[in-house]
Amino acid sequence: MLSHLNTFFPRQSNFRIQYNFSKMFCFQCEQTMDGKGCTVKGKCGKSAEVSALQDLLVAQLKHLNSIVHHAKENDVKPVTTYSDHFNLEGLFATLTNVNFDEKRFQKYLEKGEKLIEFYLKNGGEKLKSVLHENGIQTADFSYSKPLKDLIKTGKEYQLDLTEEKRPVIFTKELIMYGLKGGAAYLDHARLLGYEDTSLYHYLSESLQKLSLPVSEFSLESLLEFALQTGNWNLSCMELLNRANTESYGHPEITTVSTTPVDGKCILVSGHDLRDLKLLLEQTEGKGVNVYTHGEMLPGNAYPELKKYSHLKGNYGGAWQDQVKEFAKFPGPILMTTNCLIPPAKNYSKRVFTRSSVGFSNLKHIENDDFSEIIKMAKKQKGFKNTKKLALKDIIVGFGMNQTLALADLIIDAVKEGAIKHFFLIGGCDGAEKERNYFEKLAEKTPKDTVILTLACGKYRFNKKDLGVIEFKGNKIPRVLDVGQCNDAYSAIQIALALANAFDTDVNSLPLSFAVSWFEQKAVSILLTLLHLGIKNIFLGPALPAFLEPSVLDVLVKLFGIRPIGDVDEDLKLMLKK
């Protein structure tokens, strides 16, 4: 795909951003300060100290996997899967809005140190000699240090922003963020008992490769690497899709209530369906109702989850509104994954965290025993006098299986002109006013078009009455909720099935992509779309700060990526397909 890429690189952009930082540097998410990077405190809420510990953990993971790489090449036994699992846990903890707890990062670093010691001990002098030949450090460095010393060391691993190195360094970061997103999906699948050693191997080898100096890379090779990572992430999402559907059944069209009912209650936020299942099992018959929040909304559509009568529906909207919504929720809250905002005092004692999620003053559930949160729920006031409420329901459950079951109807509707165009409008949500673009776009799409949506960006319009398309006595909803962000896999399969039905490719379909991004899972999905050769994606609300101008030039030329602009003008362009 990139065989002619080198012809683009001689032309360098004259645009240069000036970077000034003292305490930290992070630009891995969309909301980064001034579109450049956070330098004093993360806009996500993380401190400079946590940022330093995250930088140190990522550096340790690169170091560990460099050792693993050479251990495998030199047949050092045993090569343990513990390091593969640690890669997932460690990377997941560094995603935006996941973990803010300094002591948890200290524990991760200590765990990584033990794995490094394990390989060095088993490899003996032979492995140490090979590592020395390749410039890989084997001298003792103890991570069992006071936090202040670890933080000081972590600051040494901030990005090198030397101007001439930026294109390569920034593109390495693009790949790293893609790996972080895929690692999160693999971790979810692992917890359900689904693992793939080839996917673990790619992650380990990629971390090793990213540890190499800038001089080892060309921009062409890095962009090839980025697209390979997109292919890898496609497989990660496929594995998680299989894990979820084989564990809980295929999502079904489901009407989800957003009106609470009287009674004690627990709110579940994040993405982890396994935690939702465990909580439903442990609350059954105990007089405690369960509600989903944010990206857990699609959980209501899975047969093995919706069968619980005390799963009462969805409360609230996307992650950025949680400070207001959690304060009003009359029970405890379980954060299974991102996105966690540093909690306000008026509800922090009611928030519990799981897996890679952490914050210093929140209770963390280490095992699968939810008795403490259930006990708290019984002590809280719960919902009262809800009969007077009548909030709008949400229809979910249009995953791959369900939507493809309707394929003949949809294809006939296209052939006979009842459906003129498809849109994929989805991705991450956030607080910026510019994200209203996606709401306005959905509202302005013609009434003979269908919108596929996924992830928390759907909350911009999933309670709006955008109508149905009446065709041969059937009513096809204009908004089809495909699921969580990882269900981009389902959306891709739906698009490929449509292309196959019309004997064409995805780019030739009357299908337009308007993608809202926020964090690293969105980066991995974007790389997957590019790997598949999908072009003319409208991306926003802002382009990633880690896309250096010369690299962005290439992506624009090859794939037609464009920033969102005026809704009406963009819609005209989309409808030209």
Give pLDDT tens digits for 500-529: 999 999 999 999 999 999 999 999 999 999
Task: Note whether 137 and 101 are same-domain residues.
Answer: yes
Quote the pLDDT of residue 388: 82
Q: Do the Cβ atoms of 429 and 319 come closer than 8 Å?
A: yes
Residues 416 and 503 in one domain: yes
Average pLDDT over residues 526-555: 95
Q: What is the largest CA-CA distance in the chain?
A: 75
Q: Which class for 4: exposed (0-12), middle (13-18), buried (19 or more C-beta within 10 A)?
A: exposed
Domain assignment present for residue 388? The answer is no
Same domain, 41 and 82: yes
The residue-averaged pLDDT of 432-461 equals 98
85 and 194 in a single domain? The answer is yes
The SS3 of residue 33 is: helix
Q: What's the pLDDT at 160?
A: 82
Q: Checking DSSP bridges between strand 449-454 and strand 421-427, what pairing results, if any? A: parallel
Q: Which of 469, 488, 506, 500 has the alpha carbon at shortest distance from 407?
A: 500
Query: Which residues, including other chains, have CB under 8 Å from residue 397's CB and lie 6 or more apart?
Result: 251, 252, 253, 254, 298, 300, 301, 481
CA distance 460 to 464: 9
Mean pLDDT, all residues of the chain: 94
The answer to which of 13-17, 97-101, 417-421, 487-491 has the lowest mean pLDDT is 13-17
Residue 330 is predicted with a pLDDT of 99
Same domain, 185 and 279: no
- Distance of alpha carbon 446 from its chain centroid, rounded? 30
Query: Two tokens at 43?
Result: 């806009």
Provide the terminal-to-terminal Cα distance of the chain, rounded to the nearest Å: 23
Instruction: Evaluate whether residue 2 is within a structural domain.
Output: no
Q: Read off the pLDDT of residues 211-250 as tens digits, 9 standing for 90 and up.
A: 999 999 999 999 999 999 999 999 999 999 999 999 999 9
| 509 and 555 assigned to the same domain | yes
| Residue 20: band (very low, low, confident or very high) from pLDDT cuts 50, 70, 90 | low
Average pLDDT over residues 481-497: 98
Q: Report how far residue 565's alpha carbon sits from residue 570's, in angstroms, rounded to the nearest whole number.
A: 7
Residue 1 has pLDDT above 50, yes or no: no
d(CA 153, CA 283): 45
CB 354 within 8 A of CB 336: yes
What mean pLDDT do residues 9-32 have? 64
CA distances from 405 to 237, 366, 411, 561 (A): 21, 40, 11, 32
Q: State the pTM of this model.
A: 0.95
CATH number for position 239: 1.20.1270.20
1 lies in some domain: no
Tell me how far CA of residue 9 lies from CA of 165, 220, 227, 368, 550, in angstroms: 14, 8, 17, 52, 7
- Of 220, 245, 270, the residue that ends a domain is 245
Task: Return the pLDDT at 162.
Answer: 81
pLDDT tens digits, one per residue of 295-305 = 999 999 999 99
Minimum mean pLDDT range among 97-101, 211-215, 482-486: 211-215
pLDDT of residue 95: 98
- Residue 16 pLDDT more than 50? no
Residues 207 and 321 in one domain: no
What total of structural domains would you count in the chain?
A: 3
Asked if pLDDT for residue 410 goes beyond 70, the answer is: yes
Are 115 and 144 part of one and the same domain?
A: yes
Q: 353 with 335: CB under 8 angstroms? A: yes
Is the residue at 15 inside a domain? no
Return the exposure string of 180-216: e unless at least 16 CB atoms fall within 10 Å of the residue's CB, then b: bbbbbbbbbbbbbebbbeebbebbbebbbbbbeeeee
Residues 185 and 131 in one domain: yes
pLDDT digits 0-9 by tens, 116-166: 999 999 999 999 999 999 999 887 667 878 999 999 999 999 888 887 889
- DSSP sequence for 121-156: HHHHHHHHHHHHHTT---S---S-S-HHHHHHHHGG
CATH code for the domain of 335: 3.40.50.2030
pLDDT at residue 378, as a whole number: 99
The pLDDT of residue 6 is 38
pLDDT digits (tens, 9 = 90+) for 305-334: 999 999 999 999 999 999 999 999 999 999
Phi, psi torsion values for 84, nearest 5 degrees:
-65, -45
Last residue of a domain, one of 199, 222, 245: 245
| Whole-angstrom distance, CA of residue 154 vs CA of residue 150 | 6
Residue 94: which of 222, 181, 212, 213 has the closest Cα? 181
* Residue-level pLDDT at 141: 66
Q: What three-state secondary structure class fits 185?
A: helix
What is the average pLDDT across 95-104?
98
Decide if 208 is inside a domain. yes
- In-domain check, residue 278: yes
* 268 & 190 share domain: no
Task: Single out the residue in 321, 351, 379 at which a domain terminates.
Answer: 379
Per-residue model confidence as pLDDT tens digits over 269-292: 999 999 999 999 999 999 999 999
Residues 372 and 484 in one domain: no
Tens-digit pLDDT profile for residues 164-191? 889 999 999 999 999 999 999 999 999 9
Q: Which structural domain, as residue segments, surrounds residue 459?
A: 399-575
- Does residue 348 lie within any of the structural domains? yes
**Is 390 part of any domain?**
no
The answer to whether residues 195 and 317 belong to one domain is no
